[in-house]
Amino acid sequence: MLRHATASLLALATALPALPAMADELNLFSARHYDTDLQLYDLFTEATGIRVNLIEGSGDELQARIEAEGANSPADILLTVDAGRLHRAEVAGLFQPVDSDILTARIPAELRHPDNLWFGLSSRARVIFHNADAGPPEGLSRMEDLADPRFEGEICMRSSSNIYSVSLLAELIEVLGADAAEDWARGIGRNLARAPQGGDTDQIRAVAAGECAVGISNTYYWGRLKASSNPADVAVADATAFLFPNQDDRGTHTNISGAGVLVNAPNRDNAIAFLEFLVSDTAQQILADGNNEYPVVAGVQIEGPMAAFTDFRSSGVNASVFGLNAAEAVMIWDRAGVP
């Protein structure tokens, strides 16, 4: 089964377009697909004269291509979403450490790899949604509370195999211990309003429609609905609200979009310059607002729907934990019987 999956990914990867050869260039392999990111690349080129050659695909496609090309890969940077995906590339030996005073100073330690193999560039919180008019259910303030029997039949979530679900449980393993995290996962399974299905936006829609009392989602999906030109999307956003879990103890689970310089990067210096550019105030604002995320650099102001929701406490758990505990998290979800 694994061989078949790998073959499929390699087939997809080799179908990606070829890159041109230039002297002052940067070859960026990106799993982020936002028009505002293109604005960033143009600004970087204007500032440095370095052209950004963009190759887009899913994180799996891009990693498969980089691995297949090996030492001949033209890729300088892999940019993807979720620390769990960055960990997969790290385990495959794709990243090299970067010693940059700028990156170290501007990115909090918990949002970058302990050995500087990758760096968080924007962040998102995983929160609990509820009906805006009804308010949060009584007694709900922590992610752990969702396993309480009083919420039986009231929770909507996406598949446990999704990287966001895996990373959330990976953090709980770290802060609660494996046994308590498994008890939590079993409680979630008992309390589901329906079988896990759809993406994060579908959980928010389900709360708005009354299919469940609470749903688990990343903040930026609500931001997209609120900023949509479709009145129906805005109505869903207005019908829902969210709370940041665990504000009275460790803080909310926070994940990242991030990037690393690849071990065979032909334009290493350009790649480092690009990462340093992405943590400038201007780039941080564009990165965050482009996907309704949060900047990783303190003090940067955002302008989109999430600007009103920046005052919350993050857990401070190093994002590398999400990958390190991922395999155990998958096994726990499976044992708990949560699809």
DSSP three-state, residue 309: helix
DSSP SS3 for 301: coil
Same domain, 329 and 205: yes
Per residue of the chain (339 residues), give pLDDT as tens: 333 333 333 333 333 344 444 459 999 999 998 888 999 999 999 999 999 999 999 999 999 999 999 999 999 999 999 999 999 999 999 999 999 999 999 999 999 999 999 999 999 999 999 999 999 999 999 999 999 999 999 999 999 999 999 999 999 999 999 999 999 999 999 999 999 999 999 999 999 999 999 999 999 999 999 999 999 999 999 999 999 999 999 999 999 999 999 999 999 999 999 999 999 999 999 999 999 999 999 999 999 999 999 999 999 999 999 999 999 999 999 999 999
Examine the domain organization and report whether 27 and 74 are in the same domain: yes
- Which positions ≥6 away from 142 have C-beta within 8 Å? 245, 246, 248, 249
315 within domain boundaries: no
Is 313 among the domain residues? no
The length of the chain in residues reads 339
Residue 36's pLDDT is 85
CA nearest neighbour of 333 among 129, 159, 86, 81:
159
User: How far, CA to CA in Å, does 314 sit from each of 87, 105, 163, 243, 296?
Assistant: 20, 19, 19, 13, 12
Q: What pLDDT sits at residue 23?
A: 58
Residue 19 sits in the same domain as residue 134: no
**4 appears as a binding residue in the annotation:** no
Same domain, residue pair 234 and 332: yes
Q: Are residues 329 and 201 in the same domain?
A: yes
Domain that holds residue 199: 125-252+324-336
User: Helices 35-48 and 281-290 meet at what angle, rounded to 10?
Assistant: 160
Residue 10 sits in the same domain as residue 99: yes
Q: Are 119 and 271 in contact (CB under 8 A)?
A: no
**Residue 1: predicted pLDDT:** 36
Q: Is residue 242 part of a domain?
A: yes
Q: Are residues 222 and 264 in the same domain?
A: no
Question: Rounded to two decimals, what is the model's pTM?
Answer: 0.91
Side chain identity, residue 284: Q
Closest C-alpha among 165, 121, 163 to residue 155: 165
- Report the number of distinct structural domains present in the chain: 2
pLDDT of residue 240: 98
- Say if 316 falls within a structural domain: no
**Is residue 58 one of the residues assigned to a domain?**
yes
DSSP-assigned states of every residue in 122-167: EEEEEEEEEETTT-SPTT--SGGGGGSGGGTT-EE---TTSHHHHH
- Residue 274 sits in the same domain as residue 289: yes
Q: Do 161 and 247 share a structural domain?
A: yes
CATH value at residue 17: 3.40.190.10
Output the CA–CA distances (angstroms, integers) from residue 159 to 38, 121, 132, 205, 244, in the order listed: 31, 26, 24, 16, 21
pLDDT value of position 13: 35
220 marked as part of a ligand binding site: yes
Q: Does one domain contain both 192 and 328?
A: yes
Classify residue 319: in a domain, yes or no.
no
Judge whether 184 lies within some domain.
yes
Terminal alpha carbon distance of the chain: 19
Question: Which pLDDT score, from 0 to 100, does residue 34 have?
Answer: 84
Nearest to 278 by CA among 30, 24, 10, 90: 30
Alpha helices in the chain (DSSP H): 2-14, 35-48, 59-69, 83-91, 101-106, 163-176, 178-191, 200-208, 219-227, 231-239, 268-278, 281-290, 320-324, 326-336
230 and 271 inside one domain = no
pLDDT tens-digit series, residues 263-309: 999 999 999 999 999 999 999 999 999 999 999 999 999 999 999 99
Domain membership of residue 312 (yes or no) is no
User: Residues with Cβ < 8 Å from 85, sequence gap 6 or more?
Assistant: 31, 59, 163
At 268 the pLDDT is 97
**Does 34 belong to an annotated binding site?**
no
Residues 62 and 156 both lie in one domain: no
